Amino acid sequence: MSDIRRDRYGSDSDILSARLSSSSRAAPKSPTEMLQPEVVPPPPQRSRAVRHPLVIFLNFVLTLVIVAVIAGGAWLFIGRMQFNKPGALDQARTVSIDRGTSLGAIADILTREGAITSKWLFMAGVWMEREQNNLKAGEYLIPAHASMRDIMEAMVGGKGILYSISVPEGLTSQQIVDRLNADPVLVGDISEVPPEGSLLPETYKFTRGDTRENILSRMRRDRDRTLTDIWNRRASDSPLKSAEELVVLASIVEKETGIADERSRVAAVFINRLRLNMRLQSDPTVVYAKFGGKGKPSDYTLSKDDLSTDSPYNTYTNGGLPPGPIANPGRASLEAVANPSRTRDLYFVADGSGGHAFAETYEDHLRNVARWRQVNGGNGGAAAADAPDAADDGDAAPAAPVPVAKPKPAASGDAPMALQPDQ
């Protein structure tokens, strides 16, 4: 029975402790004593491990970390708000960033120009967005009240002020280099003049600080890409053997006429002549033979004596195509040569209205020449031979080519040769 009690109520020692604790408080000796509060036992003594210096230090560090995290979070929240809020600029302002400028230097420039209010906040925001290596040089128009984020995104996207340079069709490579060198916004020197016909004349956009060599590289890439596309779409019966021959003939067509509707028909005349082994007899090739890439001086008039210039580029004295392009043709002239008009024309001459009169036969051509003489004040064939090549200086005006005449029957099996009408 006693064992059962011990199991229900605990061991004898436990029972005894409970009784002692319940009777530990002495019976009060007086009513006053009864009113006194019971004495609370002292708290348990802290563990020695808790009082160890290392534990105390770690608790201190942990506290600092928690405080730092809370403070950092608050700073990030406030900083992000400042980074995204409208800026202090009252009106738009232009800011120029040179190539190789560091993030700190960019922040200094923006601060100096009043575009941002805090250099360090801007740098911190850029670092937080991991864009510190993506800011691009250029000239930027900072809108009024643009935020730091707006400015950063504009520089990351390279959304600077765009400039443009227009390169007319038919310029030589030397003339294109001269035009690039004259541009005040582009920088850097051009190491060498590109090969003739290797550039695509178009309008090219760029930002301040862009280099002249970069523009030339873009012109080369655009020309190669355009030429490949057009060559792959050429007429199946084209007598041209390579894409480079297409460029050569396109450069001649480019210099012969500046009228868009005429290009494919002028190209057809030269294509038909190539098929018949007739000499091309193109004035612009004589100009190139005489002056090269520098171009004909504006005050120089091409004469009949120039037609005998000793040069492989002279298509009056040499058959077939010249050894290379005489200019940089545009996209339209390349297209015209790749897919010329389906005509039998072998001749063309200026018609006095800015265009040309075309003919299939020598007789029709002579009548066109007669009309040209009337328009030109009766100065006839010699005047046609002396007419300047207006397209040589890059203008859009059409050229006045030398009239080509009926081929004389070949002797000893030679290919037929086109003669001057006054010979």
188 and 116 in a common domain: no
pLDDT bin (cut points 50, 70, 90) of residue 397 is very low
For residue 150, being part of any structural domain is answered with yes
Supply the CATH number for residue 152's domain. 3.30.1490.480
Residue 381 Cα distances to 25, 183, 219, angstroms: 144, 42, 40
For residue 402, being part of any structural domain is answered with yes
For residue 77, being part of any structural domain is answered with no
Domains: count for the chain: 3
pLDDT bin (cut points 50, 70, 90) of residue 220 is very high
Lowest mean pLDDT among 5-9, 11-15, 43-47, 140-144: 5-9
Domain final position from 127, 156, 185:
156
pTM to 2 decimals? 0.68
Is there a contact between 278 and 407 (Cβ–Cβ < 8 Å)?
yes
The pLDDT score that the predictor gives to residue 379 is 55
266 and 404 in a common domain: yes
318 and 281 in a common domain: yes
Rounded-to-integer distance, Cα 117 and Cα 327, Å: 53
Tokens found for residue 392: 């040589």
Give the angle 4-10-15 at the CA atoms, nearest 5°: 115
For residue 147, being part of any structural domain is answered with yes
255 and 192 in a common domain: no
218 and 247 in a common domain: no
For residue 145, being part of any structural domain is answered with yes
The pLDDT score that the predictor gives to residue 62 is 72
Convert the pLDDT of each residue in 123-149 to its tens digit: 999 998 899 899 988 889 899 999 999
Domain that holds residue 218: 163-224
For residue 36, being part of any structural domain is answered with no
User: In 3-state terms, what secondary structure has residue 78?
Assistant: helix
Name the residue with higher pLDDT: 52 or 349. Answer: 349
Convert the pLDDT of each residue in 32-74 to its tens digit: 666 666 666 777 666 665 566 776 667 667 777 776 666 555 5
User: In 3-state terms, what secondary structure has residue 302?
Assistant: coil
User: In 3-state terms, what secondary structure has residue 314?
Assistant: coil
118 and 207 in a common domain: no
Residue 168 Cα distances to 179, 183, 199, 261, angstroms: 10, 15, 11, 17
User: In 3-state terms, what secondary structure has residue 16?
Assistant: helix
Rounded-to-integer distance, Cα 283 and Cα 285, Å: 5
For residue 75, being part of any structural domain is answered with no
Convert the pLDDT of each residue in 153-164 to its tens digit: 999 988 889 999
Rounded-to-integer distance, Cα 271 and Cα 344, Å: 10
pLDDT at 328 over 50: yes
Convert the pLDDT of each residue in 254-275 to its tens digit: 999 989 999 999 999 999 999 9
Convert the pLDDT of each residue in 286-321 to its tens digit: 999 999 999 989 889 889 899 999 999 999 999 999
347 and 320 in a common domain: yes
Domain final position from 107, 126, 156:
156
Is there a contact between 279 and 269 (Cβ–Cβ < 8 Å)?
no
349 and 257 in a common domain: yes
132 and 220 in a common domain: no
Which residues on neighbouring strands pair with residue 166, listed in sequence order?
203
For residue 126, being part of any structural domain is answered with yes
Domain final position from 102, 133, 156:
156
326 and 289 in a common domain: yes
Is there a contact between 401 and 350 (Cβ–Cβ < 8 Å)?
yes
200 and 333 in a common domain: no
151 and 181 in a common domain: no
